[in-house]
């Protein structure tokens, strides 16, 4: 009887390719890069038995990844498969670490599914991470922000102003805003519920009065139950509007340099940090699970920390 129990406790061996495919079939997260990164591991280690992968194997594979040109997500094809195009240059330390995180997630999933022995120790735990730079922090000055919003008002797409205003004041990603439906927006409570977030978590956006006033201009009569996209395409209402061209035109009209739509998210975080928000509050607003993701904004919170330290040590030193 004990031998039978032991036999059940030890999962049958499977190759990286076999187990990775099962993982991808079961994956329901929102990280569009996960498929690309897991497929890279299938390419590099696919024929090896998962339980026999060593830290040395991972080191060799990571060196290969480091020499390959980086690629960037570029939407999906007609079958819904993600498309990636060459970005130029080699992968950064941060990108290589994301590959390692994806593989660690695969090992964790395999362990939960009893596809590896219960006591299996993931080799990713014994591979050092690459050093990462603090990351880009580009946010608009007050004058730049006013110029950009003014240019958005003049856009041929009448919803660009509220689209950018929401991005600046909520920290939501482009895809999260484009996935919003009117039934997700509560105009009375001034909230919008995000379902299609990058990490799969539900998140609620707080909408400022200026945003609500603009949304009211476009809201249908049945807004509380409408499945229509808030930022829908003109020609194909079931699809989101293609915002890249009109946004770039507005940035150019505002004579702003080196500013991408994703930088609106940096604006939200930077303004919050400068106003004394804690890193925990910034992470919660942006939908980050880990504080290290918002550590880049810590240096903007100097005045708030100065006031705190003054209160703490007043009369003590």
Rounded CA separation 27/105 (Å):
11
Instruction: Give the pLDDT of residue 83.
Output: 60
SS3 call for 255: coil
The verdict on pTM exceeding 0.75 is no
Segment 264-291, tens digit of pLDDT: 999 999 999 888 888 888 888 888 877 7
pLDDT of 7 > 50? The answer is no
User: With the CA atoms of 101, 293, 172 and 197 taken in that order, what torsion angle do they form, in degrees rounded to the nearest 10?
Assistant: 30
User: Do 16 and 42 contact (CB within 8 A), yes or no?
Assistant: yes
List the one residue out of 230, 95, 81, 107 whose CA is nearest residue 165.
Answer: 230
Instruction: Give the pLDDT of residue 24.
Output: 92
Residues constituting the chain: 317
Instruction: Give the pLDDT of residue 134.
Output: 61
Rounded CA separation 71/81 (Å):
15
> Which pLDDT band holds residue 316 (cuts at 50, 70, 90)?
confident
- How far is CA 107 from each of CA 97, 112, 113, 123, 305, rounded to the nearest angstrom? 15, 9, 10, 9, 41
For the chain, the helix, strand and coil percentages under 3-state DSSP, each to the nearest 5: 50, 10, 35
Considering the chain, what percentage of its residues have pLDDT values greater than 70?
85
Domain architecture of the chain: domains with CATH: 9-126 (1.10.150.130), 142-310 (1.10.443.10)
Q: Are strands 82-90 and 185-186 parallel, antiparallel or unpaired?
A: unpaired
User: Do 128 and 110 contact (CB within 8 A), yes or no?
Assistant: no
Interaxial angle between packed helices 263-274 and 279-286, expressed in degrees from 0 to 180 and rounded to the nearest 10: 150
161-165, 184-188, 263-267, 293-297: least confidently modelled range:
293-297
Instruction: Give the pLDDT of residue 79.
Output: 61
> Which pLDDT band holds residue 315 (cuts at 50, 70, 90)?
confident
> Which pLDDT band holds residue 202 (cuts at 50, 70, 90)?
confident
Which residue is associated with the tokens 């995180």?
A: 101
List the one residue out of 151, 53, 164, 61 whose CA is nearest residue 107.
Answer: 53
Mean pLDDT, the chain, rounded, equals 85
Q: What is the mean pLDDT of residues 309-317?
A: 75
Sheet holding 203-206, edge to edge: 185-186, 191-194, 203-206
Which range has the top average pLDDT, 88-97, 136-145, 297-306?
136-145
Rounded CA separation 20/142 (Å):
48
Q: CA angle, corner 194, sides to 290 and 94, nearest 5?
A: 35
Segment 18-72, tens digit of pLDDT: 999 999 999 987 677 888 899 999 999 999 999 999 999 999 999 999 988 776 5
Instruction: Give the pLDDT of residue 3.
Output: 47
User: What are the residues facing 229 on neighbouring strands?
Assistant: 181
Q: What is the mean pLDDT of residues 73-79?
A: 58
pLDDT of 230 > 50? The answer is yes
Segment 114-173, tens digit of pLDDT: 998 888 899 999 998 887 666 667 899 999 999 999 999 999 999 999 999 999 999 999
- Our measurement of the distance from residue 194's CA atom to the centroid of its chain's CA atoms, rounded to an integer in Å, reads 13
SS3 call for 83: strand
> Which pLDDT band holds residue 301 (cuts at 50, 70, 90)?
confident
pLDDT of 91 > 90? The answer is no
Rounded CA separation 23/28 (Å):
10
Instruction: Give the pLDDT of residue 159.
Output: 97
> Which pLDDT band holds residue 109 (cuts at 50, 70, 90)?
very high
Q: What is the DSSP string of 41-79?
A: HHHHHTTSBGGG--HHHHHHHHHHHHHSEEEEEEEE-TT
Rounded CA separation 306/124 (Å):
40
Residue 26 has a CB neighbour count (10 Å cut-off) of: 9
Instruction: Give the pLDDT of residue 100.
Output: 93
């Amino acid at each position: 009887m004990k031998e039978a129990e032991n036999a059940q406790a030890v999962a049958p061996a499977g190759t990286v390719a076999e187990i990775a495919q099962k993982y991808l079939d079961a994956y329901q997260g929102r990280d569009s890069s996960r498929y690309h990164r897991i497929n890279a591991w299938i390419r590099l280690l696919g024929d090896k038995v998962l339980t026999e992968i060593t830290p040395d194997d991972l080191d060799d594979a990571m060196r290969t990844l480091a020499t390959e040109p980086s690629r960037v997500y570029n939407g999906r094809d007609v079958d819904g498969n993600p498309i990636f195009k060459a970005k130029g240059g080699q992968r950064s330390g941060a990108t290589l670490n994301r590959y390692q995180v994806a593989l660690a997630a695969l090992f964790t999933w395999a362990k939960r599914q009893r596809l590896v022995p219960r006591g299996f120790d993931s080799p990713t735990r014994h591979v050092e991470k690459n050093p990462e730079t603090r990351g880009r922090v580009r946010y608009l000055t007050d004058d730049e922000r006013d110029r950009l919003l003014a240019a958005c008002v003049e856009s041929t797409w009448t919803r660009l102003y509220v689209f950018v205003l929401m991005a600046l004041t909520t920290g939501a990603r482009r895809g999260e805003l484009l996935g919003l439906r009117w039934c997700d927006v509560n105009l009375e409570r001034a909230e919008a519920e995000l379902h299609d977030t990058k990490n799969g978590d539900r998140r609620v956006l707080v909408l400022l009065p200026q945003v609500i006033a603009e949304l009211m201009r476009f809201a249908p009569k049945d807004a509380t139950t409408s499945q229509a996209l808030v930022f829908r395409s003109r020609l194909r209402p079931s699809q989101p509007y293609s915002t890249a061209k009109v946004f770039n035109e507005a940035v150019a009209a505002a004579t702003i340099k080196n500013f991408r739509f994703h930088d609106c998210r940096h604006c939200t975080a930077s303004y919050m940090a400068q106003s004394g928000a804690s890193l925990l509050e910034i992470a919660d607003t942006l939908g980050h699970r880990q504080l290290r993701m918002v550590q880049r904004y810590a240096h903007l919170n100097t005045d708030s920390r100065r006031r705190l330290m003054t209160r703490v040590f007043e009369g003590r030193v």
